Structure 1
Amino acid sequence: MTRPVKIALVYQSLLGIYGDRGNATVLGKRLQWRGIDHELVVVEPGDAVPADASIYLLGGGEDMAQVSAVSALQTDGNLFRGLDEGAVLFAVCAGYQICGKTFTVGDRDEVIEGLGLLDVTTERGPQRAVGEILTRWSRADGTTSLITGFENHGGYTTLGQDANPLARVVVGVGNANDGSEGAVQGRVIGTYPHGPVLARNPDLADHLLELATGTTLEPLDKPEIERLREQRIEAVQRGAR
């Protein structure tokens, strides 16, 4: 019997202030619609992170929450063990930043060592990036699609040679005004958009599920989701003209 797909929502009380918990809901629902069993584990500080999850999720939070989350994850160690076993990590905004080598916090821009899962560094940007963001995501098979979301971050992220951009910016700021957004390194994916981003972008949600399960998923016929997505994209494009 195939075990359920285990989704670990990590440190919701620290990294969950922008509604990114919705990403877990979307992944679970898209598995349910396909008749695939799943298990959602909500992990709070002090709880052990499961080492056998298929997908780990990190969301957005404030500076001190980032510092606390890094310390707790380093002490626990099971996130690293899970990734070594082939799990997928999807990290949004503050969660994305802490996956890098370093990030800065506070008025003095104190440099904090990150989890080192992505070859990126984050520093305070010249102005806060706030607003709708639209990017173009290029998949490994050569196909592309748009990613829509809402960015709200003061940190600007620079990619090193071992990390690749998740997407290229069409509207918005993204990583650091260099035209890139997010980062991908192995089975770790970081991105800035909220929304929650997987509710707005079902193709990206299915991509994570396919990475985690090692299978190609059958398409879902959900025209109402596609219509809403098209309306959001059109609204962002109109606003940018």
Structure 2
Amino acid sequence: MSAPVEIVLVYQSLLGIYGDRGNAAVLVKRLQWRGIEAALRIVEPGQEVPATGSVYLLGGGEDAAQVSAVSALKADGNLFRALDRGAVLFAVCAGYQICGRTFTIGERDEVIDGLGLLDVTTRRGPERAVGEILTRWARPDGSQSLITGFENHGGFTTVGPDAAPLATVEVGVGNGDGSEGAVQDNVIGTYPHGPVLARNPDLADHLLERALGHGLDPLPLPELDTLRAQRFAHVRGRR
């Protein structure tokens, strides 16, 4: 019997203030629905991050939490080792920002070195981005899918040449330049909460497929498709 697919939720008490831990539950459930054994590991500051995970998750948090998380993850080192081994990292909002080269905190916009996993930099924008966001994601296979969520961030992100935007914005702010999120190797960053993987099952399955190295059978859930269509109509109607 193969080992369970390990989903690692990193520093929930620091980076989990917008319900982003729900992303971990979604990944575990979507594996279990397919008969694939999954194990959820929740790692808090002061505990060693396992290097054996398949998917690692970072969520949203405040300035001080971002700085603490960066310091602890650099000192621990196992997240970097896991990514070198082929694991996937999915980072939301503050988690996305700290994966970049630099981000700023506080009223003085102090520049902080990030984890350097994404070629992005984040600076405070002209206004805070708050509200529903709808983006168009160009999937690796050439198809397109909509991503829906709720954004709440003051940072605007510039994507450098070594990374690529995750999606283009239809409604909302995202990175602040018409793009949203970033992708580089097996690291994916994005701003929407929701939790975003509960709202966007295609994105959840994409993370799992990258981690597993193979495709997954579809999970037909018509009621979820109906809810997503209603969300799209609602967001577009508020423009």
Q: TM-score range by the shorter chain?
A: over 0.9
Question: Secondary structure at the residue paired with 2:173?
Answer: coil
Separation (CA, whole Å) in 1 of partners of 2:109 and 2:229: 39
Tell me the equivalent position of 1:12.
12
TM-score normalized with structure 2 length: 0.99
Q: What's the % identity of the aligned pairs? A: 76
Question: Secondary structure at the residue paired with 1:41?
Answer: strand
Tell me the equivalent position of 2:52.
52
Tell me the equivalent position of 1:192.
191
Determine whether 1:233 maps to 2:232: yes
One-letter amino acid of the counterpart of residue 151, structure 1? E
Tell me the equivalent position of 2:175.
175
Deviating 4+ runs (over 3 angstroms): none
Q: List alignment gaps of at least 5 residues for structure 2.
A: none
Q: Deviations over 1:132-179 (max 9, x none)?
A: 000000012110010000000000000110010000000000102x11
One-letter amino acid of the counterpart of residue 227, structure 2? L
Q: Deviations over 1:85-115 (max 9, x none)?
A: 0000000000000000000001111000000
Determine whether 1:112 maps to 2:104: no
Determine whether 1:152 maps to 2:116: no
Tell me the equivalent position of 2:202.
203
Displacement of 1:222:
1.1
Tell me the equivalent position of 1:26.
26
Tell me the equivalent position of 1:223.
222
Tell me the equivalent position of 1:103.
103
Report the aligned-residue RMSD: 0.5
Aligned length: 239
Q: List alignment gaps of at least 5 residues for structure 1.
A: none
Separation (CA, whole Å) in 1 of partners of 2:103 and 2:79: 19
Displacement of 1:226:
1.2
Tell me the equivalent position of 2:39.
39
